[in-house]
Chains A and B, each alone.
Chain A
Amino acid sequence: RKEVEQDPGPFNVPEGATVAFNCTYSNSASQSFFWYRQDCRKEPKLLMSVYSSGNEDGRFTAQLNRASQYISLLIRDSKLSDSATYLCVVVNSNDYKLSFGAGTTVTVRA
């Protein structure tokens, strides 16, 4: 079983729509969680951290469910510029290594 698993998508949504997707992780000792965004042929860039209480950053909302070991990302009022691959990232506090999911591809159409 992979350490971090994501629905690869693609999610094709119209502008203005809401899109949400999850990722699951296998290591219950994982301590830190992030969503990264990667555009085609570019490096991954930090989108937002995920906190236990859930957190928002503008149109983006991240949730963490430790009991079920999943993380979610919701994008409201999606823009064309939101088209990208979203990578779920889990960090084990004992070794600081990032474990990446394979990514969820989102395409926002006009």
Chain B
Amino acid sequence: DAGVIQSPRHEVTEMGQEVTLRCKPISGHDYLFWYRQTMMRGLELLIYFNNNVPIDDSGMPEDRFSAKMPNASFSTLKIQPSEPRDSAVYFCASRSGGAGYGYTFGSGTRLTVV
């Protein structure tokens, strides 16, 4: 089991540029979550999918953020245009089963917008 795979591991970009983060969940997991972590705000849920369908995107900060899950093995989180305040670690997590099952997180993408 390769676990949840995220890419890139690190991304440094200039303000105004488009950033795309990628995630491959564990095979067979039907829930996928995108989180953002900063020192100030801790871990925040941005959006989650069930069977590739977005269920709750209320955590997406603003229209500059969008997420897609075109199939069960791939999801993207896009920021366009990026701003310095978007600098954070972005984690993808997946799980299957009911609410009593823990999540597996990817290693995260450390985004720095300068």
> Which residues of A are in contact with B by a Cβ distance under 8 Å?
31-32, 34, 36, 42-46, 49, 87, 91-93, 95-98, 100-103
User: CB-CB < 8 A to A92: which residues of B?
Assistant: 99
**How many B residues have CB within 8 A of the partner chain?**
21
21 residue pairs A–B, Cβ–Cβ below 8 Å:
A31-B99, A31-B100, A32-B99, A32-B100, A34-B102, A36-B102, A42-B107, A43-B108, A44-B43, A44-B105, A91-B99, A95-B56, A96-B48, A96-B50, A97-B48, A98-B33, A98-B93, A98-B103, A100-B43, A101-B42, A102-B42
Determine how close the nearest CB of chain B comes to the CB of A98; give it in whole angstroms: 6
User: What 0/1 pattern do residues 4 to 28 of B give for CB contact below 8 A with A?
Assistant: 0000000000000000000000000
Q: What residues of B have a CB within 8 angstroms of the CB of A100 in the complex? A: 42-43
Q: Is the interface of A mostly helix, strand, loop or mixed?
A: loop
What is the distance, in angstroms, from A10's C-beta to the closest C-beta of chain B?
14
Which residues of chain A are near B42, meaning CB under 8 Å?
100-103
* Total contacts A-B at CB 8 Å: 47
Q: Which residues of B contact A98 (CB under 8 A)?
A: 33, 45, 93, 103
- Chain A residues whose CB sits within 8 angstroms of the CB of B93 once the complex forms: 98
With both chains docked as a complex, state the minimum distance between the C-beta of A89 and any C-beta of chain B, in angstroms: 8
B 32-59 to A, binary, CB cutoff 8 A, 1 in contact else 0: 0100000000110100101000011000
Q: Please report the C-alpha to C-alpha distance between residue A103 and residue B43 in the assembled complex, in whole angstroms.
A: 10
How would residues 87 to 114 of chain B score, 1 for a CB under 8 Å from any chain A CB and 0 otherwise? 0000101000011101111111000000
CB distance from A57 to the nearest CB of B (A): 13
Contacting pair A97 B56 (CB below 8 A): yes
B104 contact set on A, CB distance < 8 A? 46
Known: A49-B100, A91-B99. 10 other contacts (CB 8 A): A32-B99, A43-B108, A44-B105, A46-B102, A46-B104, A96-B48, A97-B33, A97-B48, A100-B42, A101-B42
